[in-house]
Chains A and B, each alone.
Chain A
């Protein structure tokens, strides 16, 4: 058996959560809505209807491009991609072919850098439901803005892919352009896989279409690596093809070969004039980009001396990390402690930052204990609970916590729990 180097690239589709659809004014929020209730002549592809691009979607695509360190193209255009399918009402999808909004980006994760080929914008299709002999079409999803991110084939194993996708999902949520929710289908994954013996990019590739979980992507890639290796071991080259993934069988299956590949007959969409963006316009669109998770982790570990694992957890959500930031500015010396409180939910992050800070300060400041009152209360508790004392003396460690609790209650909380325990133990041993 030869040892091969897998080359894996990714195509990721993300539905943008704009209010309206990509080319019309219908609501883009189609989730669980009555079939064909969010439709109009444009997204139904009626004769004579014309697309008018959604400015917000265009700007968000540029924003994502920027977040992935891409070059934003000063000129861009839409193209028509032709194929026949019942969920595609115009017989073509408005997409972008040779002038996407963003190109040549990269995502840095710890020590590795992954190339981003392009980020472009297109429209989603309708949805087919097969029931018995009938197929029903729901056009609510037709025309919802769909962003496509294409990576370079820079991944060499499925674990790397999974980590990257998780990071990408967080980035997308940071810039707040999509929920990137796999279950709702607002994030869809298509890995392409090939194996190389020499370390050079192979000439063939196998695409696996439309996977809707990180786990399944990983499984599909692992399956493909094994399948292709077996073919290569026989001295053959795996055919270039598109495959599907069966979640039940944990296996990929052939859908269509290269010879059956579509000729999409791309040409510039004549209904939408080409777009031009000045550096000022681009600057304005991308200026609100937040501090991204990887940068935040660096800052947390370097400047705030957080443990990497804690920094990682906090940066998974932009809301949580910004909440953390707003607290840590007031408690700069206690960053790690704040992180602990937050991660272990000792203080709930539903509180306002002010309330959180107040509570945290209480925890951080030891409570002064009146030793005279304490000794009096301890004596009372020992006398009144001789059974618990006996339990403790006979080795039941739990009994001490019960007694500490009782003393704390007697002290009405005005005592430091650690001191109470020490004093209690001393008193019992006497």
Chain B
């Protein structure tokens, strides 16, 4: 029985039909990790095999979990030396839900330290390498999770996004990644970055897998006051419906975008039209304004959220903070200081409201917005130093949606001339992840993502 490249949905069936053993599946990935991880540096911690329950919709499925999800008795570092010895005494809601469905924790994946960055280069455990080209960055901050899926070191992975941290690495590693609506998936037990923005979500090989996992993760959590009571959609059945949408696209989201990417996104829009959807040019506030809003709000929240690592607990003191975390702490503390609060934080919140209103207006005209996920494809490791704010510019197209709390999905739509994946994102209305999955699935069925996901796996085939 060949396991290689099989989706979660396929593997679940094989386990249920007892064609593969749970342990066997775990060991299969363990072996692949032993082989490829030294080169790719995807995992920080690899726990032993452990059975939790003997039933559930993810029975026997090993999953890679970003290292900012607290996992009981499994070291959780958020890729920072400050938490080098931290073994959580409790389980995050997300991982608890997965374990309750029979999934296993395969490993904890590398990320930018504290999720500060979009290359995994701020990790205190060294950068993860892009499976497409190991001299390139996988993106970040969920870079380890994206690389794990792209090289099939895990059949799927869990990541988290504050602004771009799921979509951008999914885009650079040529896989599917969905950032749910803020409040759709519980943040309980996720090492906080930007509390008003953080959204956990899956990174997968297929749209169906994203729908399948999201259905398990979504819902109101009594431990997260910001989680939403809005009923969870039946993503799998909505995904398969023959729906027609009005898709918006905005010139503002093509400014400064690499030509090759532009071409592929426009080609994708043609495909959507061919599938019977209507496309419509819309006008949105330029995403560049979202950068300042996002930067101020996120840094302010970071400066507050990192205050607890004061050296009294968790083993290591503040000297263990990397330079990016220190920069963010200083920046955030400054914007919240007496006399500056109104000029920065309060103003940022006002502009945030404008951005939310702007999307609201547009979503009364269209059902979804299509845009490039990233203005460029995977950068070379080390290249980020050229960009201010550790490449906040990389997430310029993700930040407006993040600031507005919108759901968005990344799908691969092509390769550039360096044979690096290009990602397209679909943004939707709050809590309408179903529509995004439906559109993405229609595109997937029509194009099979041009064989990009298969091509990515090729290099990592079993012998």
Contacts and interface: CB of A to CB of B under 8 A. Distances in A.
Interface of A: 40-41, 45-53, 80, 82, 84, 86, 89-92, 137, 263, 265-267, 270-273
A53 B225 CA distance: 8
Given A91-B304, A91-B307, A270-B196, A48 B225 contact: no
- The listed residue with most B CB atoms (<10 A of its CB), out of A53, A137, A266, A271, is A271
Contact of B304 (A46, A51, A92): A92
The 4 A-B residue pairs with the shortest CB-CB distance in the complex, in nearest-first order:
A91-B307, A270-B195, A265-B336, A270-B196
Nearest to B90: A41
B337 A263 contact: yes
B193 to A, nearest CB: 11
A89 B313 contact: yes
A76 to B, nearest CB: 14
B308 A91 contact: yes
A86 B86 CA distance: 19
B310 interface: yes
Contact of A48 (B92, B226, B303, B333): B92
B74 interface: no
Nearest to A265: B336
B195 A46 contact: no
B189 A49 contact: yes
A260 to B, nearest CB: 14
A270 B225 contact: no
B440 interface: no
B36 to A, nearest CB: 29
Contacts of A49: 90, 188-189
B78 A47 contact: yes
B191 A48 contact: yes
- The listed residue with most B CB atoms (<10 A of its CB), out of A41, A80, A270, is A270
B92 to A, nearest CB: 6
Contact of A46 (B88, B225, B300): B88
Given A50-B188, A273-B226, 13 more contacts: A40-B90, A47-B192, A48-B187, A50-B226, A80-B304, A90-B307, A92-B307, A263-B337, A265-B336, A265-B338, A267-B304, A267-B345, A271-B195
B312 interface: yes
A47 B83 contact: yes
A90 B308 contact: yes
A266 B342 CA distance: 11
A344 to B, nearest CB: 54
- The listed residue with most B CB atoms (<10 A of its CB), out of A48, A84, A86, A91, is A48
Nearest to B346: A267
Nearest to A51: B225
B55 interface: no
Contacts of A82: 304, 307, 336
Given A47-B191, A53-B225, A86-B312, A267 B336 contact: yes
A270 B310 contact: no
B174 to A, nearest CB: 30
B50 to A, nearest CB: 21
B89 interface: yes
Given A46-B89, A53-B225, A267-B300, A84 B307 contact: yes
- The listed residue with most A CB atoms (<10 A of its CB), out of B90, B301, B308, B313, is B308
A46 B314 CA distance: 9
Contact of B70 (A40, A47, A89): A47
Contacts of B222: 52
Contacts of B76: 47
Contacts of B89: 41, 46
A270 B338 contact: no
B49 interface: no
B409 interface: no
A52 B225 contact: yes
B88 A47 contact: yes
A50 B307 CA distance: 15
B224 A267 contact: no
B8 interface: no
A189 B89 CA distance: 37
B4 interface: no
Contacts of B312: 86, 137
Contacts of B225: 50-53, 271-273
B450 interface: no
Given A84-B307, A270-B301, A272-B225, A47 B86 contact: yes
Contacts of A266: 336, 341
Nearest to A23: B225
A273 B189 CA distance: 18
9 contacts: A41-B88, A46-B88, A48-B188, A52-B225, A86-B312, A263-B337, A266-B336, A271-B195, A273-B226
A306 B15 CA distance: 83
B188 A265 contact: no
B189 A48 contact: yes
Nearest to A86: B312
A137 B310 CA distance: 14
Contacts of A89: 308, 313
A334 B88 CA distance: 67
Given A48-B192, A272-B226, A267 B341 contact: yes
B190 interface: yes
Contact of B223 (A52, A265, A273): A52
Nearest to B227: A50
A137 B189 CA distance: 23
A53 B226 CA distance: 11
A272 B70 CA distance: 20
Contacts of B333: 265
Contacts of B304: 80, 82, 91-92, 265, 267
A47 B312 CA distance: 14
Given A47-B86, A50-B223, A272-B226, A265 B337 contact: yes
A93 to B, nearest CB: 11
Contacts of A53: 225
Contact of A91 (B83, B187, B189, B310): B310
Contacts of A86: 310, 312
B410 to A, nearest CB: 25
A265 B304 CA distance: 9
- The listed residue with most B CB atoms (<10 A of its CB), out of A45, A50, A92, A263, is A50
Contacts of B226: 50, 270-273
Contacts of A270: 195-196, 226, 301
A176 B155 CA distance: 56
A89 B305 CA distance: 11
B308 A50 contact: no
Contacts of B188: 48-50
Nearest to B192: A48
A275 to B, nearest CB: 10
A316 B273 CA distance: 79
B8 to A, nearest CB: 25
Nearest to A263: B338
Interface in B214-230: 222-226
A47 B309 CA distance: 9
Interface in B192-212: 192, 195-196
A50 B76 CA distance: 17
Contacts of A92: 304, 307
